[in-house]
Amino acid sequence: MTARLGLVVPSSNTTAEPEFRAMAPEATTVHAARMPLEDVTVDGLDEMASGAEHAAELLAHAAVDGLAYACTTGSLLHGPGFDEELESRLSDAAGAPAVATALSVKRALAALDAETVAVVTPYAAELNERERAYLADSGFAVATLDGRGLVDNTEIGELTAADAKRQVRSAVPDDTAVDAVFVSCTNYRTVPVLSDLEDTLGVPVISSNAATMWDLADRLGVESTLDTALTAV
């Protein structure tokens, strides 16, 4: 099956589109609508979310088969429940199924039967604590959470997949007792190193874009070329 996938992304995100295209089958296309965001802060993300429905309406003009709110902290900002509300709002606006990254991550971790997770992010402390609280409220124990302290989303987008791999290897020792590792942020390049990290650590390693693509593809019945443990779920 082929499909048109819609992405609602922060204006400063330079990673989601290429990573989704890399994970999508050749005949499936990816189309993005953008919401204004420069700094990844609580206030910035809150303001950005007010433009979500307009972005979804614009994607409806392209007759997308489904869409994703591709922003992790932007979809967990107000805790569990806000993620479901976002999905509902976007689905109504676009007239198509919608997923939100934070909820996609929860679904992915649940599908992997993960209870204890290690989390790696590019974020500053305030957003890290929001993410820790969101995961804890969703029933996951956060064994460790490591952030880079970045606020400028352009700087986050300049990080490479190799940077993500080094951060995971530094933050998650081989003997860490976790069921899965989660690399957060749709603007953090990760997909090329997920399989290698899984082989090294011996546990599933997911990222924001990987979980969102898996969730959206599953919702639409589209195959993903993503090479991670999620493909076996």
Task: Please give the Cα distance from 184 to 204 (Å, whole number).
Answer: 14
pLDDT band at 222 (very low <50, low <70, confident <90, very high): confident
pLDDT digits (tens, 9 = 90+) for 32-89: 999 999 999 999 999 998 899 999 999 999 999 999 999 999 999 998 899 999 999 9
Task: Please give the Cα distance from 216 to 99 (Å, whole number).
Answer: 6
Q: Are residues 14 and 98 in the same domain?
A: yes
For residue 150, pLDDT over 70 is answered with: yes
Q: Are residues 108 and 176 in the same domain?
A: yes
Q: Are residues 57 and 114 in the same domain?
A: no
Instruction: Name the residue range of residue 182's domain.
Output: 104-208
Q: Are residues 109 and 204 in the same domain?
A: yes
145, 151 in Cβ contact below 8 A?
no
The b-or-e profile of 195-223 (16+ CB within 10 A means b, else e) is: eebbeebebbbbbbbbbbbbbbbbbbebe
* Helix H or strand E encompassing 66: strand 66-69
Q: Are residues 184 and 223 in the same domain?
A: no
Q: Are residues 98 and 15 in the same domain?
A: yes
Q: Model's pTM, two decimal places?
A: 0.94
Q: Are residues 9 and 79 in the same domain?
A: yes
Q: Are residues 98 and 108 in the same domain?
A: no
For residue 3, pLDDT over 80 is answered with: yes
Q: Are residues 55 and 122 in the same domain?
A: no
Q: Are residues 109 and 186 in the same domain?
A: yes
Q: Are residues 122 and 90 in the same domain?
A: no
Q: Are residues 228 and 185 in the same domain?
A: no
Sign of the alpha-carbon dihedral angle for 189, 195, 196, 197: positive
For residue 229, pLDDT over 60 is answered with: no
For residue 227, pLDDT over 50 is answered with: no
116-123 and 141-150: which strand pairing?
parallel
Q: Work out the number of other CB atoms within 10 angstroms of the CB of residue 31.
A: 17
pLDDT band at 25 (very low <50, low <70, confident <90, very high): confident
**CATH number, position 168:** 3.40.50.1860
Q: What is the mean pLDDT of the chain?
A: 93
**CATH number, position 43:** 3.40.50.12500
How many structural domains is the chain composed of?
Answer: 2
Nearest to 34 by CA among 70, 62, 5, 3: 70
